[in-house]
Amino acid sequence: MRFDTVTIVGVGLISGSFSLALKDRGLVRRVIGVSRTQASTQKALELGLIDEALPLDEAVKQSDLIYVAIPVDVTIPVMGQIMDMITDRQIVADAGSTKLALCESLDGHPMRSRFVAMHPMWGTEYSGPEAAVRDAFKGRCCVICEKEKSDADAVDVMEDLYRQMGMHFVYMDANSHDMHAAYVSHISHITSFALANTVLEKEKEESAIFELAGGGFESTVRLAKSNPSMWLPIFMQNREHVLDVLNEHISQLRKFKSCLEKENEGYLRELMENANKIRRIIK
Query: Which pairs with CB-CB distance under 8 Å and at least 24 residues apart come from 170-174?
Result: 170/141, 170/142, 170/143, 170/144, 171/143, 171/144, 171/145, 171/147, 172/143, 172/145, 173/145, 173/146, 174/99, 174/100, 174/102, 174/103, 174/104, 174/117, 174/145, 174/146
Quick check: 95 and 14 in contact, CB under 8 A? yes
Restricted to residues 227-266, the positions that interact with its own copies (CB under 8 A) are 228, 231-232, 235-236, 239, 242-250, 252-257, 260-261, 263, 265
Distance CA 64, CA 58 (A): 13
Give the x-and-dash track for 174-193 against its own copies (CB under 8 A): ------xx-xxx-xxxxxxx
> Of all helices (H) and strands (E), which one includes residue 201?
helix 187-202
Restricted to residues 30-69, the positions that interact with its own copies (CB under 8 A) are none
Residue 134 binding its own copies, by CB under 8 A = no
- The smaller minimum CB distance to its own copies, of residues 60 and 69, is found at 69
Residue 281 binding its own copies, by CB under 8 A = yes
Give the x-and-dash track for 72-91 against its own copies (CB under 8 A): --------------------
Residue 131 binding its own copies, by CB under 8 A = no
Residue 133 binding its own copies, by CB under 8 A = no
Restricted to residues 202-231, the positions that interact with its own copies (CB under 8 A) are 202-203, 205-206, 208-226, 228, 231
Distance CA 65, CA 42 (A): 22
Task: Out of 121, 131, 149, 175, name the contact with its own copies by CB under 8 A.
Answer: 121
